[in-house]
Homo-oligomer: A and B are copies of this chain.
């Protein structure tokens, strides 16, 4: 991604939460390659900024869900705009990089 909200994963996490609450383990799968530590860090940062809400279910087995707050949802529009731009100009960006040093 040519842009970032907060840290490396924040934008992708927010988009993963677009469809509703997701569990820690679901996010881990969706964001292939992220380590639990980094996922936790990113989620904590998003929580701190009021973009994401954390829900701990009091079940026998640990079950934690993350959900966008109203503030977080308000970011989806601008984020979609950026993603659309990136998708639209992706080729052009790659080409520019390739033809560099030429």
Contacts and interface: CB of A to CB of B under 8 A. Distances in A.
The quantity of this chain's copies bound in the complex is 2
Interface stretch (A2-10, A17-25, A58-66): A2-10
B2 A49 contact: yes
Given A81-B81, A89-B71, A49 B3 contact: no
A41 interface: no
Given A3-B3, A48-B100, A97-B49, A85 B89 contact: no
Interface in A50-99: 50, 71, 74-75, 77-78, 81-82, 84-85, 89, 92-93, 95-97
29 contacts: A2-B5, A2-B6, A2-B49, A3-B3, A4-B4, A4-B5, A48-B96, A48-B97, A48-B100, A49-B93, A49-B96, A49-B97, A50-B92, A50-B93, A50-B95, A50-B96, A71-B89, A71-B92, A71-B93, A71-B96, A75-B85, A77-B81, A77-B85, A78-B78, A78-B82, A78-B84, A78-B85, A81-B81, A82-B82
